[in-house]
């Protein structure tokens, strides 16, 4: 798709809901894929047409619109079946792709890590498997372009069993990578390091926030990629943050969300997204400058619920306040803070909320554990954060950071 220019018409079907924002989002996705949007068409129906998705008359209108505007691509705002893809393309005569193909293509172009590439390929194959008849015919004639990145047509030339074998191989490799992540997670749990996950709509500024926090603790060497574009990064980044109070936590930057995120993609990325499941706190990053940011909030909440993280404790972080006109701050009943990752505004509030949510029940104590209570010493070494440990005549002297619950059980050993 690089070095090629596509001119596309976007098509949306409205069924009992306002699709203005998802159509606006579709245009952003098209631009992220290097497509010039030259027109838009929408239709309201009670339900989608099983053969052509939109009505027959609308398909004829679309064909004429494409001829008049010299479009070479049509992008639908919803996922189409193989039959719908084939029927619409035969009627219109140019490349037809749907929202899922477009998102998968963007993900394929942005995947960097081995796991990311495997997850995207798996999602592509899961999408194409039931569409080999109609979808395959379309791609074999078009010979490349949007939607053929990654496994592309070479996979469509093989039979279903070969595709299924490839999917099984990818799943096995992802499981192996997941096993390595579980080992890393076990080490974190042993170290009792809490986890803060940055979640939110794509391009809300999660990576920029992570980099600001890293700079604040003098770890500029660990900054992550940040760009003003949809899905700039797909890989989950993890960084250790140690505050001036000696409190330490793991900060995770996750892949951004988007409305109507393909189910196959959510499933493929579950191994990565499950890191959110283990987080102690979610910082839900929202672009404060976007007029309809409630739409972005709803999108994120739906995806969090889908992956099983809907009930996690979270704080809304309205970013990009430097772009607000007349300092018009958002209004919401939820707990929130307003920041600017670009200018560094109010990052002390980000640190304060993390301390409050994660460390308010932590105390530092000096304990003297008798040698005949090796079980207590082992518990402290395994479950508490040991600041110092010294063997003295009457036992093991610890300086440890404990939860208030642990301290109440062990206060008999306090040396003060």
Query: Mean pLDDT in each 10-residue stretch from start to end of the chain (416 residues)?
Result: 75 90 91 92 94 94 95 94 92 93 86 82 85 53 53 56 88 85 70 84 88 81 64 73 81 83 71 78 92 88 86 93 77 87 92 90 88 91 85 92 85 82
Decide: 177 and 169 in contact? Cβ < 8 Å.
Answer: no
Residues 255 and 404 in one domain: no
Q: In Å, how far from its chain's centre is CA 144?
A: 28
Residues 371 and 331 in one domain: no
Task: For the sheet with 95-98, list strands across it.
Answer: 35-44, 6-14, 73-76, 95-98
pLDDT at 76 (0 to 100): 97
pLDDT at 138 (0 to 100): 45
Residues 321 and 335 in one domain: yes
Beta bridge partners of 338: 318
Residues 51 and 135 in one domain: yes
The boundaries of the domain holding residue 115 are 6-156
Residues 268 and 199 in one domain: yes
Closest of 171, 360, 125 to residue 271, by C-alpha = 171
pLDDT at 164 (0 to 100): 87
In a domain, 69, yes or no: yes
Closest of 208, 226, 189, 237 to residue 350, by C-alpha = 208
In a domain, 70, yes or no: yes
356 vs 396: CA distance, rounded Å: 31
Residues 202 and 340 in one domain: yes
In a domain, 171, yes or no: no
In a domain, 182, yes or no: no
Residues 83 and 198 in one domain: no
Please give the tally of structural domains in the chain. Answer: 3
Domain end: 156, 177, 205, which one?
156
Residues 326 and 368 in one domain: no
Residue 177 has phi, psi (to 5 degrees) of -65, -40
In a domain, 301, yes or no: yes
In a domain, 179, yes or no: no
Known binding-site residues for GTP equal: 200-207, 231-235, 253-256, 319-322, 340-342
Domain end: 318, 342, 359, which one?
359
pLDDT at 268 (0 to 100): 65
In a domain, 377, yes or no: yes
Decide: 231 and 110 in contact? Cβ < 8 Å.
Answer: yes
Residues 65 and 134 in one domain: yes
Domain end: 141, 156, 171, which one?
156
CATH number for the domain harbouring residue 395: 3.30.70
pLDDT at 262 (0 to 100): 74
Exposed, middle or buried, 394 (CB in 10 Å: 0-12/13-18/19+)? exposed
Contacts (Cβ under 8 Å, ≥6 apart) of 182:
none
In a domain, 63, yes or no: yes
Residues 314 and 239 in one domain: yes
Beta bridge partners of 346: none
Residues 343 and 382 in one domain: no
Known binding-site residues for Mg(2+) equal: 207, 233
Residues 353 and 388 in one domain: no
pLDDT at 137 (0 to 100): 43
pLDDT at 338 (0 to 100): 93
Known binding-site residues equal: 200-207, 231-235, 253-256, 319-322, 340-342
Contacts (Cβ under 8 Å, ≥6 apart) of 257:
199, 200, 201, 202, 299, 300, 303
CATH number for the domain harbouring residue 280: 3.40.50.300
């Amino acid at each position: 798709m690089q070095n090629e220019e596509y001119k596309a018409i976007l098509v949306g079907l409205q069924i009992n809901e306002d699709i203005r924002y998802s159509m606006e989002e579709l245009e952003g996705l098209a631009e992220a894929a290097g497509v010039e949007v030259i027109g838009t068409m929408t239709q309201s129906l009670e339900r989608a047409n099983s053969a052509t998705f939109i009505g027959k008359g609308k398909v004829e209108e679309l064909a004429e619109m494409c001829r008049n505007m010299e479009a070479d691509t049509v992008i639908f705002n919803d996922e189409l079946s193989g039959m719908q893809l084939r029927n619409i393309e035969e009627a219109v005569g140019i490349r037809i792709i749907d929202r899922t193909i477009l998102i998968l293509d963007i993900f394929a172009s942005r995947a960097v890590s081995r796991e990311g590439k495997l997850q995207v390929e798996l999602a592509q194959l899961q999408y194409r498997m039931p569409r080999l008849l109609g979808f395959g015919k379309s791609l074999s004639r078009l010979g490349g372009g949007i939607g053929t990145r990654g496994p592309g047509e070479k996979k469509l030339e093989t039979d279903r069993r070969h595709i299924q074998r490839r999917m099984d191989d990818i799943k096995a490799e992802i499981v192996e990578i997941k096993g390595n992540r579980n080992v890393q997670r076990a080490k974190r749990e042993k170290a009792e390091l809490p986890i803060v996950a940055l979640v939110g709509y794509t391009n809300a500024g999660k990576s920029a926030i992570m980099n600001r926090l890293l700079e604040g603790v003098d770890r500029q060497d660990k900054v992550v990629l940040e760009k003003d574009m949809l899905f700039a990064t797909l890989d989950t980044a993890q960084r250790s943050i140690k505050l001036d109070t000696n409190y330490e936590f793991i900060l995770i930057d996750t892949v951004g969300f988007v409305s109507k995120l393909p189910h196959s993609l959510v499933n493929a990325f579950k191994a990565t997204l499950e890191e959110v499941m283990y987080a102690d706190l979610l910082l839900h990053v929202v672009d404060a400058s976007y007029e309809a940011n409630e739409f972005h909030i709803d999108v994120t909440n739906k995806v969090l619920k889908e992956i099983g993280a809907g009930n996690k404790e979270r704080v809304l972080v309205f970013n990009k306040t430097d772009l607000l006109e007349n300092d018009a701050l958002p209004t919401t009943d939820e707990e929130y803070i307003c920041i600017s990752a670009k200018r560094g505004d109010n990052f002390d509030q980000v640190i304060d909320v993390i301390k409050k949510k994660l460390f308010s029940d932590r105390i530092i104590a000096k304990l003297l554990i008798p040698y005949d209570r090796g079980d207590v010493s082992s518990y402290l070494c395994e479950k508490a954060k040991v600041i110092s440990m010294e063997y003295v005549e009457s036992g093991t002297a610890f300086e440890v950071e404990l939860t208030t619950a642990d301290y109440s059980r062990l206060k008999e050993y306090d040396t003060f």
